[in-house]
Amino acid sequence: METRRIAVLSAGLGVPSSSRLLADQLASAAERRLTAAGSAVDIEVVELRDLAVDIANNFVTGYAAPRLAEAIAGVESSDGIIAVSPVFSASYSGLFKSFIDVLVPHSLDGKAVLLGATAGTDRHQMVLDFAMRPLFTYLRTRIAATAVFAGPQDWGNSDGGGSPLSSRIDRAAGEFAGLLEIPQPQQKPATLASLPFEQLLAGISGRR
């Protein structure tokens, strides 16, 4: 049985956090879909709030503290990412972007990504398409077609999973699981050929 490793990024600042709540629901829905398809699932949740100081220090020192280094390694080695941010000033949070900025360039190439966002009003839901999606497109990831926004009216519904939010989560999780079933492109380092000394010498002589 193949194991799918999913890194869940939650950039919520409060305790409890609506961003963490949405991230957990997306992760649970994705796990159900993948398990039903016959895959084992390993989920690692990264609470960016707990890494805020380490992220800031990384910018000025160029050094990732052990906790941050472990989180970065987990994200970069994952098969897929569930990324959820609260909305501030009509965009993803600065903490969320700062974590993305400390990742190794191109380390997210080809990864499956499921996007989510939370805010205090539905007027911010376009952040998903006008801020988060372009960011992860730039990072060359494969993004689930359905992104999930949750506002205040989406919480507290106990209708047995039939709320609009539950439906969006289930649809997005299905798309995300589908992306994970497609093999992730592997970056292969260029092979270094060892040339005979005579050939190397001939090349040097030819440049004179």
Q: What residue ranges define each of the domains in the chain, with the CATH number in brackets? A: 3-206 (3.40.50.360)
Summarize pLDDT for 64-95 with one digit per residue, the tens: 999 999 999 999 999 999 999 999 988 999 99
Quote the pTM value: 0.86
33-60: pLDDT as tens digits: 999 999 999 999 999 999 999 999 999 9
pLDDT at residue number 162:
66
Whole-angstrom distance, CA of residue 149 vs CA of residue 107: 26
Q: What is the pLDDT of residue 180?
A: 94
Backbone phi and psi for residue 77, each to the nearest 5 degrees, phi listed first: -95, 0
